[in-house]
Structure 1
Amino acid sequence: MVDIRAIGAALLLCLTPALAGGKAAAMEARGAFMQTGVAAPRPIGHQGFCRRNPDECRPIARRSRPEPLKLTPALIHRIATINLSVNSTIKAESDEDVYGVEEYWTYPTTVGDCEDFALLKRRKLHEDAKIDLADLLITVVKKPNGEGHAVLTLHTTDGDFILDNLNWRILRWSETPYSFLKRQSIDDPGRWNRITNGRDVLVGAVAK
């Protein structure tokens, strides 16, 4: 069994600014935060999800606090616990195998595709950890092999972090091996924006 405390410590290590060599330089080049640009087409699966769950895709009322989520040790532990719980409870299976269609976004109960993991983490982090939905953004990326993939971005004052069903660690977005394409809008979860600084894949950062 994986030690939850170790996972919390791993996330705390991600917040440490001291990094060595080329990896640090690559992270600095990408920046701590994703930069979003023009509107992007919604993924087909998300369009269907919004039709079935319209309340989940309405614009978010403007928040009184101007900054992203501020992390605390207790909140880090809670985030790590939820991330591990979903990754260990849900079995990864393709939409084609489960539903007989290429893309079907939904909340999983026992099995699900990558975007289903992201949806469930988003809901649990909002309901159980009281994190603003504007700081929980489903994000579409491309793996080094060219395959599409979906992850959840945690938008914090310390930067953007990635919750991924392929990795129990919670990493800075710049530490992942992915090319970042688009993500949900902070103000409107039914809309998406392109990520303008997300295509430089970090060499040597491989999910274990």
Structure 2
Amino acid sequence: MIGNTSNGLISRRLKAFIRAIASTSLAAGILWNPLQIGAAHAFPQSGMPVAADAILTDGRAGPTPAWIEFCKKLPRECAHDATEPATIALDQGLWQIIAEVNERVNGMIIPVTDQDHWGVADRWDYPDDGLGDCEDIQLLKRRLLVEAGLPQRALRMTVVIDELGAGHAVLMVRTDRGDYILDNKRKAVLSWQQTGYRYVKREGSDSAAWVWLGNRSAPLMTATK
């Protein structure tokens, strides 16, 4: 598992992260100062999180139709390498990277619905033009975390029902301290229990198949911002 790393490895991951997020910022036409990385004020969650429970799964589930289309377009994004760890051994350096990715991407991407952006009700894609809704923003976070050295198998796209009763997508990071949520509605990375969401389903561990998380009233779309 990734974790319990040396200072040298953390430094290499941070440098990879800087390059990844800086290049993504430039592609979106956004100026970002990589020298800010590592500054004390840059990490609102610099302390390690309180340990949380892992969320329980409840059998195989079908993905949303928009995820199926996304996988047809970019099949590598939907494949899991069974040799990768399914959870991350969380340490201070990795937690800082996770918190920084969440906050930076939330500040980089302008929220817009798929209907306004693409003219369709639900489309999962990367927000390469600086615009995107919830799932697009989480996909970008996942890509940046993978480029920073985290295993994609431990980063699960997840469908929830939000505080308005609407379908919403978040990114679940599975760790040895529990499951944590990256969300475009919040700056802070929270444990899954702290969000107040009802959890529907997420990517599975070993393939493109998804798993139920207890609430089977699954929305067909995650079209909210």
Q: TM-score, normalised by structure 2?
A: 0.74
Whole-Å separation in 1 of the counterparts to 2:102 and 2:216: 23
Whole-Å separation in 2 of the counterparts to 1:146 and 1:196: 16
Distance 2:172 2:216 in 1: 13
8 Å contact 1:37–1:196 — kept in the other structure?
A: yes
Correspondence for 1:118 = 138
- What amino acid is aligned across from residue 115 of structure 1 in structure 2? E
* Alignment check: 8 A CA contact 1:45 1:104 kept: yes
SS of the residue aligned with 1:169?
A: coil
Distance (Å, rounded) in 2 between the aligned partners of 1:149 and 1:78 = 24
Deviations 1:41-85 (A, max 9, x none): 11111011001111222342333x5x6201111111111111111
TM-superposed deviation, 1:5: 2.5
- Runs of 4+ in structure 1 off by over 4 angstroms are none
Structure 1 residue 8, shift from structure 2 partner: 2.5
Kindly indicate whether residue 213 of structure 2 is the aligned counterpart of residue 195 of structure 1: yes
Which aligned pairs between 1:127-166 and structure 2 lie closer than 5 A? Answer: 127-128=147-148, 130-166=149-185
Quick one: distance in 2 between partners of 1:104 and 1:164? Answer: 18
Q: Is the 8 A contact 1:34 1:197 kept in 2?
A: no
Secondary structure class of the residue paired with 2:45: helix
Helix, strand or coil for the counterpart of 1:146? coil
> Is contact 1:138–1:184 with CA below 8 Å preserved after alignment?
yes
Instruction: Indicate the residue corresponding to 1:168 in structure 2.
Output: 187
- The one-letter code sitting in structure 1 at the alignment partner of 2:137 is F
Give me the identity figure in percent. Answer: 34
Supply the AA of the counterpart residue of 2:41.
D
Write out per-residue CA displacement over residues 77-124 of structure 1, whole angstroms, 9 at most, x where no aligned residue: 111111111000001100000000011110112010100011000010
Q: Tell me the CA shift for residue 181 of structure 1.
A: 0.3
Number of equivalent positions: 178
Per residue, is there more strand in 1 or in 2? 1
Residue 49 to residue 39, structure 1, CA distance change in 2 (3 Å): same
Task: Give the aligned partner of residue 3 of structure 1.
Answer: 41
Q: How far apart are the structure 2 equivalents of 1:33 and 1:141?
A: 16
Structure 2 stretches lacking a partner, 5+ long: 1-39, 218-225
The residue aligned with 2:107 is 88
Q: Please state if 1:60 is matched with 2:81.
A: yes
Say which is worse superposed, 49-58 or 106-115, in terms of deviation: 49-58
Distance in structure 1 (CA, Å) of the matches to 2:210 and 2:196: 22
Q: TM-score, normalising length from structure 1?
A: 0.79
**Runs (5+) with no aligned partner, structure 1:** 18-30, 200-208
